[in-house]
Amino acid sequence: MLVTYKYFFLTPEIWDALRAAAEADLTLAQAIVDSAGVIVQSADLTICYDERGAKYELPKYVLSEPTNLIREG
């Protein structure tokens, strides 16, 4: 597996915190990013930094509910 420098210093704990924050309501999301030491640069969580300055970029499609799925029922 090839690990590039860009992703070498990103930690799973921060990714987990960002995922939890994206799935939470606003108050809980703020508490999650604060406790994880995440610095949110954009209001929609697409660009964040950890305490060491590593950049975490989330595409907008992972932060919204899918609109093109068919519900089976």
Q: Report the percentage of the chain scoring pLDDT > 90.
A: 52
Position 10 confidence tier, pLDDT thresholds 50, 70, 90 = confident
pLDDT, one tens digit per residue, over 35-66 is 999 999 988 899 999 998 999 998 888 888 77
Mean of all residue pLDDT scores within the chain:
85
CA separation for the pair 59, 73 (Å, rounded)? 30
CA separation for the pair 35, 33 (Å, rounded)? 6
pLDDT score, position 31: 97
